[in-house]
Chains A and B, each alone.
Chain A
Amino acid sequence: MKVLSPRLCFILCQIAGFSLLFALWILNGEIAGFFLLLLLVIMSLLRFRVSGTKYTVLLDLAACVAMVTLWEYAPYALAVPLFSAMYLGIYPAAIAVIYLFFNFEPLLAVTLAFGTLCGLFLGFWERERNDKLTLRDTAAGRYYELESLQSDLTAALAQVERMTAVAERTRIARDIHDNAGHEIVAAYISLQTARTMLDNQSTDGLELYDAALERLNTGANKIREAVHNLSAVTFLGVDNLRDTCRRFPACKVDFNVYGDTTRVPIYVWTVLEACLNEGLTNAARHASATLVSVDLDVTPHIVRLCIENDGVTKTNGKSGNGIRNLRHRAAAIGGSLSVDAGEVFRVICVIPIKEDVL
């Protein structure tokens, strides 16, 4: 259904104006009057079709004034271009009413005033409507830009995390190869040589054997050192979730894990941690829960985190900023987040596990 807009009203008013003028022209059938009408119609169509031609309305006014001597109803035709001029915001065109000072007729004055006021009204309506539409479009544009930016940033974060994991893996491989690897290979060669010497009852074999043991000891120490350097000082992954649940002060949190959590990539844990924090914060702030149940299911293809609380389940149907942001973050890595306010309040986050990023 077409909405009644100022432009549509303007077109309908113009059609009505031309119809009335045509009816007026039929009264005496003056040829000049018909050509004036045809000219006004053409100019209106021109303004309707070609942008930047609004000032041609002044030509319409001039034509009407010029035709006054040729067609007795030409002054009434002034109402149509006056109406258009006011609608288009060409207010100086109102000077055309000066004609009334030279030839005042009450009916003509009413006609021109009516046309002018109608044009003014429709013009103001159009401009106000356009302003509001512009404001709405600007706000919507900014909102979509922010959403897009947030989505890009989340995707970039996931990418950086993946790159960090790969870089770290490379560094560990290099450390083991450069430090411990060389010592162990050297010890292996020494032991092979020592074995030959011991078979030949050589006394140097024992010295070589001791040296190999020393090298093995050094290699083992370097591996221990590397592992010590790699060990996290804070909890990671499922341990972090468990620790968060354990330290939650508002109520008891029942945390259950199913499946192989080593399959979950590091960048997924960040989203899961954010979900858990949001779910627990909501349970404490809005639900007055006495028990929160957290289930983490890891299958070969997805990881699913379900946070339930037995507190208040009523919602106003709108998601808060936290849930909305989490939705974006989950969506950025191909997952989803849903809220179920049934008998218990439940937040479920499902994220696919991609084999290639493990």
Chain B
Amino acid sequence: MTIFRFALLRGTRNPLTLLCTYILPIVLILVRPLWTDGGVGFGGISGGFSLLTIVTMSSAYLMSLSILTDKADGAIIRILAAPITMRRYLTENLAACAMPLLVQMVIVSTLGRILYSWSLTLSIAVFLCYTVLTIASVTMAFAWHCLFKKVEGNVVGFPLILFLTAFLGGLTFPVEAFPGPLQYAGVIFPAYWAVRGLSAVLETGAMNGAFWLGIAAMLLFSIAYLLYGGKRRII
């Protein structure tokens, strides 16, 4: 678990990562107006969920920057020259990226149930949805890192992806408000499916088919992103 431990430690070196991963989710759940019925609503869900989605995606990107750093400065070649398999390197790195966020999701779900009297179904749905979204976001960030050879293009391009996700994925406006085909443009982002699943649970109060479809879509996206990345791409 050496790689896992050091990946976790490297993630805490950047103040922005610390803020996004360890502080913002807790702060968000404590801001009552974002979660109550009268709060500011984005998309089909309350503002708190929208902001938590954006924070989750940003944290996943920031936490996985260590993979990009390893790739850019050639450390990955030296690491793989050691008796460490590519699978182990990726598994432990991605687990280290996802672990802090998963712990945050447990805290958020628990605090939500305590502070805002969420039903057990909603708490579990929020935990499940954001757990899978975290996995999808980490794998998406990993695939994004594999796409670029230069760090600059990667860092400049990700805010654009984040903006498109927020805009087309239904985090800022309900997708039904978009004209015709633009309503479906956001399906290529996992966040769209998270919003869709959560909306279904908030509307019906149960984890229905739409919710599970959203979970399935995010898991499939994770597989696709993992397959896209990999040894040949990362080196």
Contacts and interface: CB of A to CB of B under 8 A. Distances in A.
Given A31-B213, A35-B217, A49-B230, A42 B224 contact: yes
A357 interface: no
A39 B230 contact: no
A25 to B, nearest CB: 7
Interface residues of B, number: 16
A244 B220 CA distance: 82
Interface string B174-204: 0000000101110100000000000000000
A41 interface: yes
Contacts of A49: 227, 230, 232
A38 interface: yes
A289 to B, nearest CB: 58
Contacts of B185: 26
Nearest to A28: B184
Nearest to A25: B184
B227 A38 contact: no
Interface in B54-84: none
A322 to B, nearest CB: 46
B223 interface: yes
A38 B217 contact: yes
Given A31-B213, A49-B230, A42 B183 contact: no
A29 interface: yes
B167 interface: no
B220 A39 contact: yes
Nearest to B221: A38
Contact of B223 (A25, A31, A42): A42
Contacts of A39: 220
Nearest to A29: B184
Contacts of A42: 220, 223-224, 227
A232 interface: no
Interface of A: 25-27, 29, 31, 34-35, 38-39, 41-42, 45-46, 48-49
If over half of B's interface residues share one DSSP class (helix, strand or loop), that class is named, otherwise mixed; here it is helix
25 contacts: A25-B184, A26-B181, A26-B184, A26-B185, A27-B181, A29-B184, A31-B213, A34-B187, A34-B217, A35-B220, A38-B217, A38-B220, A38-B221, A38-B224, A39-B220, A41-B224, A42-B220, A42-B223, A42-B224, A42-B227, A45-B224, A45-B227, A45-B228, A49-B227, A49-B230
B90 to A, nearest CB: 13
A147 B89 CA distance: 42
Contacts of A34: 187, 217
Q: Which 5 pairs from chain A and chain B are nearest by CB?
A: A45-B227, A26-B181, A29-B184, A26-B184, A42-B224
A49 B146 CA distance: 14
Nearest to B210: A31
B101 to A, nearest CB: 24
Nearest to A27: B181
A12 to B, nearest CB: 16
B225 to A, nearest CB: 9
Nearest to B224: A42
B229 to A, nearest CB: 9
Contact of A29 (B183, B224, B227): B183
Nearest to B181: A26
B227 A46 contact: yes
B24 to A, nearest CB: 30
